[in-house]
Structures are given as C-alpha cells and as structure tokens.
Amino acid sequence: MRDNRLWQAALRRWFEAGSALVAVLLSAERERWPLWLPVGAGLGIALYFLIPFEPPLWLGPLAASGALVGGILAWRRPSGFLLVLALGMVGVGFAVAQLRTAQVAAPILERRLGPVEVSGQITDLDPRPQGLRMVMEQVQIAGLAADRTPVRVRIRLGAAAAEGLHPGQWVSLRAVLMPPPGPVAPGAFDFQRYLYFKQLGAVGYAVVSAVRPVARDDAEGGDSWRMWLSSLRQTVFSRVVAGIDGASGAIAAALMTGERGAIPKDVLKAVRDSGLAHLLAISGLHIGLFAGILFLGTRTGLALIGPVARRFPIKKWAAVVAVAGAFPYLLITGATVPTQRAFMMTGLVLLAILVDRTAISMRLVAWAAVIILVMTPESLLGASFQMSFAAVIALIAAYEVLRERLVTWRAAGGWWRRPGIYLAGIALTTLIAGFATAPFVLYHFNRFAGYGLVANLVAVPLTALWIMPWAMAAFVLMTLGLEGLALTPMGWGVEGLIWVAQTVAGWPGAVIRLPAMPVFGLALVALGGLWLCLWRRRWRLWGLVAIAAGLLTIPLARPPDVLVTGDGKLLAVRSATGELMLSSRRVARFSAERWLERAGQWTWPLWPEAGYSEDGRLACDSMGCIYRAHGQTVALVQDPRALAEDCRTASVVVSTVPVRVPCPSARTVIDRFDLWRRGGHALWLDAERVTVESVADWRGARPWVPNREPGRRSADR
C-alpha cells in the first residue's frame, strides 16, 4: 500500500512539473497562439469528412456556440480559455463544412441513361487534345423529372461536334449520361465527392457528331457576366494556340487561361516527371509573378519622375496597380479555388504594404487559410490546398530563421552577390518547398521527382524573367490585334521549358513511385510540420518526430491482397514478390492505372490465361482462377459454371457473376450484387481471418454517396 502511495505521489509530481513546463513554453510562444486558429478549424473540417455518417445540421453550430459560452466563462483562466478556444475552432470548422455541404446539395444521377436527349446552356468549354469537355447548366434530360435532374452535367465531345460552340450558348444533343465515378478502391481519390461540391451530378459523352443550337428568349441568363468571361477565356485560348504552334502553344495558353486540357499527354508527363507541374497550375507563383511585375514596373516608372517620387507614396500606388492588374488575370484563368487562394495571398501581401505592415508573415497566411476554409471547407481535402499552404508555411518559417544571415551576406557587397543571391534563393526555395510538399505529393500522386531541384533552377528563372513578362505583353497587345509580337518570343521560352522538362524526365531514376500513404500517416506529417513551423522555440523540433512517424507508415502499411472493381470487369491479386497481377490490360484501364500508382508499381503483369503464375499462387482456366496466399484459398469466379465446385472448396469466393447457390466452405462471399451495391472491394488475407473493405464501407452514408445498399452481404460469415 505504501509503495502505491509513493508511486501516486511521484506521478503527481511529474504531472505537475510537466504541466508547469508546458505552461511556461506556451506563455513564451504567446504571440504565435493565433496561428493555430486555422489549424483548429481544419481539424473540425477533417473530422466532418472522416466520419462515416451525416451528422445532424445543428451539431456543428451547437458545438461552436457552446465553446463560445465556455470561453466567456473561462476568460480569466488562460489555460482554460485556450482549451475552450481550440475546441471552439474545431466546432467552427465542423459547422462550416456541414453548412457548405447543405448549400451545394443537388441531385446526382442514379443510373446510366441513354442515349438520351440533353439540352441546356453551355457554361464552360475545356479544350482536350481530341475535342472538348462541355459543362452545361439549366439542364433538361428527356424522361427525367426536374427534381431528379442534376444542376450541371459534363459531356465529352469529339472535335467535329465541338466546332462553333461558345459559353452562353443553348444547345441540344444526344448523349450517354452516367453518375460521377466513385473511388477505384477504398482510400482512393473520391471523384463523386469532388464533383458534388461543384454541383456536377452527371458525366457522359455525345453519341452523335452534331450539337444543335437552341433558340431561347432568355439566352443570356442570369449569369451573363460569367458566360462573357468564359467566352473571353475561350477567345484568348484560341488566339494563343493560333499564334504558337504545337505543344508550346498549348502550354502558353495554359499559362494565360488556366486551360491545360490541350497539352499533349507525353509533354504533360515529362513536365510532371521533371518536377515542373507547378508551373502549369495557375497558383501563387503565377499570380505573384503577374502582380510582382506590375508592382516593380509601376514603382520603377514612377521613381523616374522626380517630383512624383518625392511627394507621393509611389510604393503604395504600385501596390494598388498590382492588385488591380492581378484581378483580371485571376478572372481570365478561371478563378478556380487555387487561383482564388493565390490572389488572396498576394492581395494580403499588397494590403500589408498599403498599411505599412510586414508584407509576408505567418499571420497573413493564417488569415488567408481561415478565409478559404470558411468559404470552401472542402478545399482542405485537395492536393492544391495542402501543397500550396505547406510550401508557403515552410518557406516563411525557414526565412524567419535565415533572414538575418541572408541580410548580412547581401550587405557585404560585391557585384556578383545579387545574381548569386537570386540563384541561391531559387535553389533554397525549391529545396524547402520540395521537402514540404513531398509527403502530400506521395499521398495524392504516389510519386517523387528526383531531379526537381535541377529542373526548377533552370525553369523558374526562365518562366519568371522571360515567359510571364511576354505573356503580360501579349494580353495588352491582344486588344490591338498585335499579340503575335509577344507570343513569338514567349513561344521560344516555352520551347526551352519543354526541352528542360523532357531532358530531366529522361534521366535515369527521374521519378520514384512509392506505395500509398495511409490517411493517419499524412495527418501525422501535417501536424508535425505545423508544430515545427508555427512555434519559434526549440520545442518545435518535436515536430520532426511526428513527421518521421508519418513517413514510416508508408513501408509499414500493408496493401490489399485482392482488388476488384465495382463493375467486376477487373481484378488483381498480389504476387509473392509484392506486385499486383491484373486480370486484363484491355478493360477498366483507368482503375488499373490508379491501382498500380497506389501500389508504387511501374510494371503491368497479367494473369496467366491458363495454368499457374510464376510464384504458384494463382491457377487459372477459362472460368476463373484460384488464388492461394496466407493460408486462404480465394476463388475468383468469372463464369457461373465454376460456382458449384468453388463454393465447396474455397474459403473466400469473389464472383463477378451473381451467386445463387450455397457456399458451405466460404466464410466470405462477394458477388456481382455486392459489387454493384457497395463499389470496389479490397481484401486482406490472414491465416485466421479475411478482412474485407468496400468503397461504401470506407466512405459511409454521405450526401455524395449513391444509396444502393438495402443490406450488407459481403462479410465474414
């Protein structure tokens, strides 16, 4: 008894000492507390999207308001106030995610339709190498009630059908429509959720070559300014590709309009593999360059006018011109969420100049994050949000540490220091941003560009000093019909950019593929990175432990042993060497490519048509295959005639046809109806049990998930 009391007293002393130490450290970081407000909101948003059910709409606002009341009551107790404030921000994030989901709620097509007559107004045209992708609103679908008709549909058109179309036009055509595709496997990217927040409830393709214009009295609609802007974007795109031939024209048009669909696949692959994909996505770099060129040009021009420079705040005037000039660029590039975020960040920097504050600071980033998360909470889940904020936060934190050394080195003099500092700045920025965004690239794209630093050392100065200035000149000259004077030299620069991308992408080991990182691994990396960057004292280094733990989840995570698509057309099993072997190379290619990416695999091994695989795990004939691994026998049935035998011998039956006979030997049965109801399935085999997870299990019952589940059948039994 006495020993227990001693242990209790010791534990109490250790706890009190630890609490006191944390209180001291937190007190020393008092000026950094506000930086954690968007982190709390982000945690609330993440919690909303992670739960497998749709919570009642009152839950989030109630939690946020309860925390507000608690904060008022705990005002005089700093530790209690901080805790309640943190919980309140989590509640705010949860609430805004709920409200946003309810705000964008719209019908989603429940099943495949068509060919069927579809009419509506064109709101966007996305050029592709072999035609267009057309988005329509105010849609009418023959035979479908208005309350079940999606707000927006996206239809793929061939080159012949796309001629003469423009945003704002009312058209009619025959098309095949389908619900937005779900994830290809549990844990994969959720296209249905992504399109749900765009209110895009159906996708499809045209089945005839002609799109018929429809006369409407209200052809301008209520959003005529948006249609005009889309038409302007299409006009700019057409004039750029007419002025610059080939892939260079497609990339130049992407830099000026944000439309990347026309870039040839081989060029786009080279750009990605070389680590230059960020140059094609209109983001902080482009908006910053656009505003920066305007700012420096305006300030330099005004500085040459002596009386104006001496009597007026030309720096603030230049900031106003930069904002005013960057805003049209935001609109012409589509005003997507990434470009809105980039413009907001740039605008806050220029606003800081106007009010005589530090132009770039962590607090400005925190404010930008709060605004974006409140307006579009779903952006937290996107690679663009995660990568851009990771890069910006890491860069600001790094330069907070290095600022004094860099200022001292620059002040030391020497004509060679300016270009040296510029090149060193590009290298250091690329290195920091590359390390900060690498975990998110691995999570979303399962790849890492090994020579990205080398490629960026050449491509970033080329883009900043040559390509973007000529792009700005082309915008101005386009109003006079003289854009060719600027597009020609811009095309030279883009050709150089393509050469850099193709050269670097061709080097051995240019791209490294890794298996998919679990969600909790990414969460550890993100929280560890925030801990490292947002605090200033030495305890920030504990964030490195969380980052390392998150990265270790990649080799420790166990991939599934069996995969099957929701339509049953494609199956895959894991070989003894850890590679996925696929049942076909001809069907469901998109799913196959995503499976291989998530497996970190380049090769595409196929099942044997008959006989055994090299490792002996798989034996196939014309009616299906038998897969043996980890003490389990899995029957992969593709012909109903095989069911009678397989249901007597296999411990697991995965059938792409309905199972209408008893399966006495099988504890787990997944058939065609399970696949239709619950989407793709993944199976993990162990000697004692079989773990099954479907796409529906992983996503839960959410507004963006089609309800096809009358009852679960794919389970251990």
Q: Give the pLDDT score at 716.
A: 41
Tokens for 82?
């901080």
* Segment 114-150, tens digit of pLDDT: 799 999 998 888 887 777 889 999 999 998 898 899 9
Is residue 20 scored above 70 in pLDDT? Answer: no
Of 105, 313, 307, 85, nearest in space to 198 by CA: 105
Domain spans of the chain, in order of start? 29-103, 113-222, 386-449+515-557, 562-699
pTM beyond 0.85: the answer is yes
Residue with tokens 């227990």: 4
Which residues share a beta bridge with 512? Answer: 448
Summarize the confidence of residues 672-686 as an average pLDDT.
92
Tokens for 481?
């019909």
Higher pLDDT, 420 or 696: 696
Is residue 712 scored above 50 in pLDDT? Answer: no
**pLDDT above 90 as % of the chain:** 36
Q: In angstroms, how far is CA 635 from the centroid of its own chain? A: 37
Residue 710: pLDDT band (50, 70, 90) is very low
> Range with the lowest mean pLDDT among 22-26, 45-49, 93-97, 504-508?
22-26
Q: Give the pLDDT score at 717.
A: 36
CB atoms inside a 10 Å sphere around CB 668: 22
Higher pLDDT, 378 or 283: 378
Spell out the residues 6+ positions from residue 625 whose beta carbon is closer than 8 angstroms to its own.
573, 583, 607, 618, 619, 635, 636
Q: Give the pLDDT score at 498.
A: 95
Could you tell me the CA-to-CA distances from 161 to 78, 157, 175, 208, 213 in Å, in that order? 66, 6, 12, 8, 12
The whole-angstrom separation of Cα 579 and Cα 594 is 14
The whole-angstrom separation of Cα 679 and Cα 708 is 10
**pLDDT above 70 as % of the chain:** 88
* Segment 72-88, tens digit of pLDDT: 666 666 666 777 777 88
CB atoms inside a 10 Å sphere around CB 106: 15
SS3 580: strand
Summarize the confidence of residues 394-408 as an average pLDDT.
80
Higher pLDDT, 595 or 352: 595
**Mean pLDDT value across the chain:** 85
Q: Write the Ramachandran bin of 326: left for phi over 0, alpha for psi from -120 to 50, otherwise beta.
A: alpha
Is residue 516 scored above 90 in pLDDT? Answer: no
Task: Give the DSSP letter of residue 716.
Answer: B
Q: In angstroms, how far is CA 69 from the centroid of its own chain? A: 36
Q: HEC string of 601-612?
A: CCCCCECCCCEE
Q: Give the pLDDT score at 5.
A: 64
Please report the beta strands in 630-705, taking only residues with DSSP state E, as ranges in sequence order: 632-637, 652-655, 668-670, 681-685, 690-694
Q: Give the pLDDT score at 675.
A: 92
Domain boundaries 113-222, CATH class = mainly beta
CB 495 within 8 A of CB 581: no
Summarize the confidence of residues 232-248 as an average pLDDT.
89
Q: What order do you get walking across the sheet with 624-629 strand by strand?
A: 611-612, 618-621, 624-629, 632-637, 652-655, 668-670
